[in-house]
A and B are shown apart, each in its own frame.
Chain A
Amino acid sequence: MTTHIMAASENPLIPNGWEMLITAIGFSILLFVAVKWIVPMFERTYAERTDAIEGGLAKAEAAQAEADRARDEYNQQLESARLEAQKIREEARAEGEKILADFKDRANVESARITENAHTAIAAERSAAVASLRNEVGSLAIQLSSKVVGESLSDDERSRRVVDRFLADLEQNPTDAGAQR
């Protein structure tokens, strides 16, 4: 009970100077520590964390952009490769067609040449045959007619002129001559 009486006798609003001083000192020390270390350290940590998060986001964005770019590039390459393939196919087809046409031309030329040669050869052979026939037919006819008419007609000069005239007539008008014969 004495404590209560004592408490009542003190005015609780009157401060103790030493207590004020101690409070001021304690507060100052704490404020100093806060200014010097606690606040800077916490703030630095916050700032670093913010940086780290924002840096991470930026990095992710950069990676995304890079991936987009690579994909675009890939698509572009794919497109150009497709175009190129198309072009090559087109060229190959044209080339093939050209080669085919060349061969056709060459074959045509060759066949024409062969035909020409054949014609020439046939013509030459024909004229050779005609020439040899003329000789042989003449001599055979003379042999035959000399056998038929005998030795009187064996004068070579005269018989040759007769045969030549006969053959010339024959060449001028072969059908008539043939018919006459």
Chain B
Amino acid sequence: MHLPPFFEIGSFEFGKHTVLILLSVALIAGFFLWAIRKQALVPSKGQYLGEIGYGFVRNSLGRDIIGEKEFRPWIPLLFTFFFFILVNNLFGSIPVLQLPTFSHPGSAYVLAGVAYVAWVFIGIKRHGFAHFMGKMTMPPDVPKVLYVFLIPIEFISNLIIRPVTHALRVFATMFAGHMAIMVAAGLLGYLVSEVGGLGILGGAGALFLGIFIFFLEILIQVLQAYIFTLLFAVYVDGALQEGH
């Protein structure tokens, strides 16, 4: 399923995945630094494009969710999450590159881990460990008796399942999309070359299926980057808020 690595250093395989991660970093940093290099009050087209991307994360993910007062320190993290995931996902739909980096689970785990540490850390820092745990596990306005059940359920749901789903959501969609395209492509190849005859007709069907999945994938790739960052913003907002 994987291409062989380009070269190996010990057990480290320098493969396509590594190249794409580094490429994405270079692309994102390069583009935004290039776009804002002049810091013009009246933006050029390039700067305007950069501002649209930056402003989207800053305003609709940061300010609108975390709130006017507190969102500023979170802009870099939100920005990095969104564009890092977006570009790496889109690699899955670019010919030759053709690999969404987050179809490799390690990448998704790392990002979800960073997100988890960040919002739990800020929550504990803001409210203290005990209060934060109370916030996370004891929903308000519930009869006291129910806490017997609610505390374990809320604990598992908020502090264990939440980061896992955060990671698996992006990983699974990328992995599945990647597989679906591979299946469509494999089916096309098999029907045309191995079956022939009527199979070629079926191959045309597989081609349409593949093209459909390709565009669906682009949509999902963008959406997943958005959802991951959105959920992170929601988690941070929940951790920062007063009360329960």
Q: Interface residues, chain A, CB within 8 Å of chain B?
A: 1, 3-4, 6-7, 10, 12-20, 22-27, 29-31, 33-35, 37-39, 41-45, 48-49, 52
Pick the residue among A14, A20, A49 that contacts B110 (CB under 8 A). A20
B97 to chain A, nearest CB (A): 15
Q: Which residues of B contact A41 (CB under 8 A)?
A: 33, 36, 39
B30 to chain A, nearest CB (A): 9
| CB <8 Å contact, B11 and A23 | no
| Bound-state Cα–Cα, A25 to B17, Å | 13
Known contacts being A27-B114, A30-B28, is A22 close to B33, with CB within 8 Å? no
Check if B22 is an interface residue, CB within 8 A of chain A. Answer: yes
| CB <8 Å contact, A16 and B41 | no
Check if B226 is an interface residue, CB within 8 A of chain A. Answer: no
| CB <8 Å contact, A39 and B39 | no
Q: Which residues of A contact B32 (CB under 8 A)?
A: 34, 38, 42
Pick the residue among A10, A17, A27, A49 that contacts B111 (CB under 8 A). A27
| CB <8 Å contact, B41 and A52 | yes
| Bound-state Cα–Cα, A80 to B223, Å | 73
Known contacts being A18-B13, A41-B36, is A26 close to B24, with CB within 8 Å? yes
| Bound-state Cα–Cα, A37 to B111, Å | 21
Pick the residue among A6, A27, A31 that contacts B1 (CB under 8 A). A6
Q: Which residues of B contact A52 (CB under 8 A)?
A: 41
Known contacts being A6-B1, A26-B25, A38-B36, is A31 close to B77, with CB within 8 Å? yes
A8 to chain B, nearest CB (A): 9
Known contacts being A30-B28, A34-B79, is A44 close to B33, with CB within 8 Å? no
Check if B76 is an interface residue, CB within 8 A of chain A. Answer: yes
| Bound-state Cα–Cα, A27 to B88, Å | 11
A-B residue pairs in contact (CB < 8 Å), sample of 13: A1-B190, A3-B1, A16-B106, A20-B109, A22-B21, A23-B101, A23-B111, A27-B110, A33-B33, A38-B54, A39-B75, A42-B51, A45-B43
| A35 (CB) vs chain B CBs: closest residue | B76
